[in-house]
Amino acid sequence: MPNLGVDPGNEGAAVLSSGTDVLAVVAWFKRTRGGEKQYRIVCATDERKVVGFTARTAHGVGRCAFQYLRNVSGQPWRLCVEDFYMNKNVKTSVIMARWAGAMSGPLEDYAIGPAEWKLAQVWRKEVLRMSPWTGRAQAKRAAQTYIPAMFKSKPTLPQLARTLGVKLEHITDAAGIALSLNMETG
């Protein structure tokens, strides 16, 4: 059964994996066209950028990711989404929660059971054995160093990030979240 890990930021990624094999990567980022904010969604299963979509909303990003990943997977997945850190600024926290929920909703419709939500420090402790008190910058560096080596598949996560033209940090976070699901199921 495939696992889908999601880093649901405004710039984020989703990694569909089966064990230590990456089946597909979807990434998105903000851009402005004609004064309108949009999200560009790029997808790949190998070293070729397969397809690109444009969406205006978080739900649109999730819907595009769902359509692509469902075609790649052919079967329902277990879904885990990185939970956001509660910011001292309540308005920012509400915006982040709305985005994550709207973006992950279409992905959850195809999932086996409800989505799991894990804080970054929780999945990093499970996958990388890191202390929950490790600083964010150090944790990001460790994830980018060690998580790609945990996957056997070709192309590697750094190669997929270059193919898609996105930051490796979002892909490694999504892959780490997927690995945490894999560790639970064995």
Please report the domains of the chain, with CATH numbers, ordered by start residue: 3-185 (3.30.420.10)
pLDDT in tens, 109-124: 999 999 999 999 999 9
Cβ contact 159:172 at 8 Å = no
47 pLDDT band, cuts 50/70/90, is: low
Q: Are 16 and 72 a contacting pair, CB within 8 Å?
A: yes
pLDDT at 51 over 80: no
In the structure, what pLDDT confidence band is assigned to residue 165 with cuts at 50, 70 and 90?
confident
Residue 92 makes CB contacts below 8 A (sequence gap 6+) with none
Strand order in the sheet with 36-44: 49-55, 36-44, 21-33, 12-18, 3-7, 78-83, 116-119
H or E element in which residue 19 lies: none
- CB contact at 8 A, 93 and 84: yes
